[in-house]
Structure 1
Amino acid sequence: MSILSPEMSSFAPSSKKQKTTISKSDGPFFSDIGKIEYKPDAGPEQTLVFKHYNAKEVVMGRTMEDWLRFSVCFWHSFRGTGADAFGFPTIDRPWDDGTHSMENAKRRLRAAFEFFARLGNKYWTFHDRDIAPEGSTLAESNANLDEMVDLAYDLQRQKGVKLLWVTCNLFAHSRYMNGAATNPDAHVSIYAAAQVKKGLEIAHRLGAENFVFWGGREGYQSLLNTDIRAELDHMAAFFRMVVAYKHKIGFKGQLLIEPKAKEPTRHQYDYDVQTVMSFLHQYDLSQHFKINVEPNHTTLAGHPYEHDIQLASAYGFLGSVDANTGSPDLGWDTDQFPMDIRNCTVVMKIIMEQGGLSPGGLNFDAKVRRESVAVEDLFIAHIGAMDAFARGLRNAANIISDGHMKTALENRYTSWGSGLGARIKKGEATLEDCEKYIMQKGDPSHTSGKQEHFEAMLNYYL
């Protein structure tokens, strides 16, 4: 998730900030772009068609649409302005007049659903503060949300689009500069809890299939002024209130935590999947939460692209994926659209082997580049990423069906399937048994890891 998109207009030049009203169309907003079609024979210059994503195509017993469960995120696609930490906004959308009015918020939402209809995705995601302006009081903010949620409810029904998940923005406002659930000031944490209460209610109202927690400022800048144990204890207490209220209102959605290693704090308490799993087990919350993995965050933690997805899946914690990528050479969270076929293939192999992501999905938590200012770029970015994952899906299906990579992997661990290896796995062996075995068998031989063999096999399917 971006920490900047909804708020970056405040960094605009003063001349732009003085403009309070800009006349904008009420739609249609994409009249020159029709519904995106599947044209497998289209040439490389035709980027406003699907060349690989065929929603109803059946792959290993399910449609592509069902396996992939694509979702468009509202914040990057309809609140993003191209601004970054080093520059002012570059993107001027026909549906956005630059104000924080309810009229502008409604126009943005209508534009988003027009986009969904043309793209053909079945899911969307948003932060509470993305869709409704924050008021001067919590009551005013909640009233704005209620009005926007009523519109979203109607648009979902009209367009046949569902809500993959909701999350609360507990990081952008200055009140959260020292964190939300982990803030040293209990008053701030209480405000965050009240905000999440409303978030769960609107998620329930809109039929969200998940609810995500991204701890944007749940971490520290310096250990000198931080009581780590107290802050983690407070975060666990916060999540216990969430679980209790979820059950109280009858919300059936899956609760998800999204790891991130760094940015904006020096250290985030949700550093990576292994850290989150440890936290959940430590505080007896593991039965209530799964994990929303963002691979761009995985690489920020110094891991390979698919590491967190693989680890979460191995332990039954993989709930959803924020489908994006980054530029590891830059070292920060760039939220790019995923176009790498190798990465999409290994991710889909993991997802298919665990039986799918439902009720999670592949949410495009990604933004067009600052320089990609044309409206059609927004379509092309999503189309390219959807095609990349469609190719990854087909590749993964072939890998799984052929079984060569699975067999090769299993062969590396055959010694654990019988004899003393099997007894160790079952907890039936002792250190004395191990010593006796070595005295009889001697030193182990060198066994090749065959990394290059595995890499070559993967390349065959790409």
Structure 2
Amino acid sequence: MTDFFAGLPKIAYEGPDSTNDFSFRHYNPDETVMGKRMEDHLRFAIAYWHSFAWPGGDPFGGQTFQRPWFGDTMDLARLKADVAFEMFDILGAPFFCFHDADVRPEGADFAESTRNLEEIVDYFGQKMETSKTKLLWGTANLFSHRRFMSGAATNPDPDVFAYAGATIKTCMDATHKLGGANYVLWGGREGYETLLNTDLSRESEQAGRMLSMVVDYKHKIGFKGAILIEPKPQEPTKHQYDYDVATVYGFLKRFGLENEVKVNIEQGHAILAGHSFEHELAMASSLGLFGSIDINRNDYQSGWDTDQFPNNVPEMALAFYEVLKAGGFTTGGTNFDAKLRRQSLDPEDLILAHVGGMDACARGLKAAAAMLEDGTLEALRAERYAGWDSDESQKILRGERSLGDLESHVRSAGINPEPRSGRQERLENLVNRFV
């Protein structure tokens, strides 16, 4: 045991009337919601990078956190793992997620970095034998090191492409060895800063080739989890190739991978793309791409990806409404891709941030379930489209009617349609009954 969280209790559910900061008021893992335990609905995961690797910097200032495990040695990497699993135990977290660079020091070359990763993976495996916490997903950091300044798969240098592919392989091996439920690809710098030095056709083909190699390797090693792409529109590059869910779908269709890959949707990235979180979730569900989520929020005044912990229950209710409508998570889950504020220096801040986020998600889940069980929203939606259920309308959709047929029908039936209300305010009022 370390002493980093000394004196902090395990977090237990005490109910909405509790005044104990170190308790769950709404997240009760064993509570049944729509026939399933709340823990099994939400499948919470702790993000290794923000919780244990992030130093507290921002674009305008450097490190504010002084963690005892900060440093580039294997002993400190093991200490970081010890603290991480202690935190997982305090929160009762069922899952965690990591990049390779979060958990091991950078080596002098690829071989040393890989040996460092493999050693920490073995250490994780030992700790997981006595922990309830499993791996939701692993991924490779292909954006922080200067070698990736021009991208990884989309880099103009084939040596960087090869290095990126080799790194992905080692991270897929690590994820597979630890029993990970998914493997995520996030192209942090897969984009461009200026079109003056960019060949969009070449870079798109390179990205497609890399993803195809990932899928091939998944099948080669017998990895049963999902391959997930995490869409992001910009920051730090001007444009990225996986802008949003719809863009990712087009990319997958282009390379014949739409049945092999799903999406991991982050709330903050949805907002950067000019969408709402629930829009991206609904889009993924409609396209058959829904996989997993990264939960956080942006500061709506700052306008950039601030990765704050979620606390807006109405937003969470609409998001989990779409998750439940999509059938809920299978291999995916709710990963807290969220970080403390630079001024939140104390160990208890790290615990309480997650407690608040877990409670907000639980409240959102329960509100979403109540809306679905009530059924009014879906009934009104079905009523709006009811005309398309008729036999004649279905023939149109099946391609059995031409434009000429439509003209004849309009003339013979004397069709002169009047607009109908979309009832938006009524529906918004309905949602507010539950949140």
Q: Is the 8 A contact 1:74 1:124 kept in 2?
A: yes
Secondary structure in structure 1 of the residue aligned to 2:82: helix
8 Å CA contact 1:132–1:148 kept in 2: the answer is yes
Q: In structure 2, which of residues 415, 418, 435 is the aligned counterpart of residue 442 of structure 1?
A: 415
**Alignment match of 1:111 (pick from 72, 83, 101):** 83
Paired position in structure 1 for 2:11: 36
* Alpha-carbon distance, 1:323 to partner: 0.9
Q: Which residue of 2 aligns with 1:166?
A: 138
2:57: which partner in 1? 83
Alpha-carbon contact 1:105-1:131 (below 8 Å) kept: yes
Moved over 6 A (4+): none
What SS does the aligned partner of 2:97 have? strand
Determine the C-alpha separation between the residues in 1 that align with 2:20 and 2:54.
Answer: 25
- The correspondence for 1:451, drawn from 415, 424, 428, is 424
What residue is the counterpart of 1:13 in the other structure? none
What are the superposed Cα offsets for residues 32-74 of structure 1, whole Å, 9 maximum, x if unpaired?
Answer: 111101111544x532110000001111110000000000000
What TM-score does the superposition give when structure 2 sets the normalisation length?
0.98
Q: Which residue identity is paired with 1:390?
A: A
In the TM superposition, residue 157 of structure 1 has moved relative to its aligned partner by 1.3
**Contact 1:299/1:328 (<8 A) preserved:** no
Find the aligned partners of 2:374 and 2:270 in 1 and give their Cα distance. Answer: 29
AA aligned to 1:77 is S
- CA deviation after TM superposition for structure 1 residue 274, in Å: 0.2
SS of 2:7's equivalent in the other structure is coil
* More displaced stretch, 83-92 vs 165-174: 83-92
1:29–1:114 contact (8 Å) kept in structure 2: no
2:331 to 352, 359, 374: 359
Whole-Å separation in 2 of the counterparts to 1:237 and 1:121: 36
Taking the aligned partners of 2:127 and 2:330, their CA distance within structure 1 comes to 23
The SS at the match of 1:255 is: strand
Partner of 2:36: 62
Q: How far 1:421 sits from its partner (Å)?
A: 2.3
CA distance in 1 between partners of 2:277 and 2:122 (Å): 39
1:413 Cα offset (Å): 0.5
Provide closer, same or farther for how the CA distance between residues 447 and 208 of structure 1 changes in structure 2, counting only shifts above 3 A.
Answer: same
Within 1, Cα distance between the matches of 2:330 and 2:358? 17
Checking the alignment, whether the CA contact within 8 Å between 2:182 and 2:227 is kept in structure 1 is yes
1:36 corresponds to which letter in structure 2?
Answer: I
Q: Is the 8 A contact 2:16 2:26 kept in 1?
A: no
Map 1:152-301 onto structure 2 (within 5 A). 152-301=124-273
Matched with 1:368 is 340
Question: Which piece of structure 1 moves more, 206-215 or 410-419?
Answer: 410-419
8 Å contact 2:4–2:347 — kept in the other structure?
Answer: no
2:300, 2:17 → 1: CA distance?
A: 32
How far apart in 1 are the matches of 2:302 and 2:403? 48
Amino acid aligned to 2:295: A
> May I ask how many residue pairs the two structures share in their alignment?
434
**Paired letter, 2:71:** T
1:420 match: 392
- The residue aligned with 2:379 is 407
Write the distance in 1 (CA, Å) between the matches of 2:347 and 2:229. Answer: 32
Q: Contact 2:9–2:22 (CA<8 Å) still a contact in 1? A: no
Preserved contact between residue 47 and residue 336 of structure 2 (Cα < 8 Å): yes
Q: Provide the rounded CA distance (Å) in 1 between the counterparts of 2:415 and 2:36.
A: 51
* In 2: Cα distance, 1:212 partner to 1:59 partner: 28
Question: Which amino acid letter does the alignment assign opposite residue 213 of structure 1?
Answer: L
Q: Secondary structure at the match of 1:306?
A: helix
Q: Distance in 2 between matches of 1:304 and 1:248?
A: 37
TM-score normalised by structure 1 residue count: 0.92
Q: Structure 1 residues 302-311 or 112-121, which shifts more?
A: 302-311
Task: Please name the residue that 1:72 is paired with.
Answer: 46
Give the distance between the partners of 2:271 and 2:321, measured in 1 at CA.
19
Report if the CA contact (8 A) 1:42-1:49 is conserved: no
Deviations 1:190-231 (A, max 9, x none): 110011111111111111110000001111111121111111
Give the distance between the partners of 2:301 and 2:408, measured in 1 at CA.
Answer: 50
Match in the other structure for 1:6: none
Per-residue CA deviations over 1:208-258 (Å, capped at 9, x if unaligned) read: 110000001111111121111111111111111111111112221210000
Q: Take 1:355 and 1:316, find their aligned partners in 2: how far apart are those partners?
A: 11
Q: Distance in 2 between matches of 1:230 and 1:311?
A: 28
Supply the distance in 1 between the matched residues of 2:138 and 2:414 (Cα, whole angstroms). Answer: 58
Contact 1:47 1:384 survives alignment (8 Å): no
Matched-pair contact (CA < 8 Å) for 1:300–1:328: no
RMSD of the TM alignment (CA)?
1.2
The letter for the 2-side match of 1:447 is: R
Cα distance in 1 for partners of 2:255, 2:231 equals: 17
One-letter amino acid matched to 2:305: D
Matching of residue 46 in structure 1 with residue 20 in structure 2 = yes
* 1:393-412 deviation digits (Å, cap 9, x = unpaired): 11111111110000011111
CA drift of 1:419 comes to 4.6
Correspondence for 1:340: 312
Q: Give the Cα separation in 1 of the matches to 2:416 and 2:201.
A: 45
Kept after mapping to 2: 8 A contact 1:260/1:268 = yes
Pick from 355, 359, 371 the counterpart of residue 387 of structure 1.
359
* 1:263, distance to aligned residue in structure 2 (A): 0.7
CA–CA distance in structure 2, aligned partners of residues 88 and 46 of structure 1: 34
Indicate conservation of the 8 Å contact 1:338/1:385, yes or no.
yes
Give, in whole Å, the separation in 2 of the partners of 1:449 and 1:71: 38
Q: Any idea what SS the aligned residue of 1:158 has? A: coil
Amino acid at match of 1:455: E
d(CA) in 2 for partners of 1:203, 1:353: 29
Secondary structure of 2:202's aligned partner: helix
State the Cα distance separating 1:328 from its structure 2 match.
3.0
Does 2:290 correspond to 1:325? no
User: Does structure 2 conserve the Cα–Cα contact (< 8 Å) formed by 1:125 and 1:164?
Assistant: yes
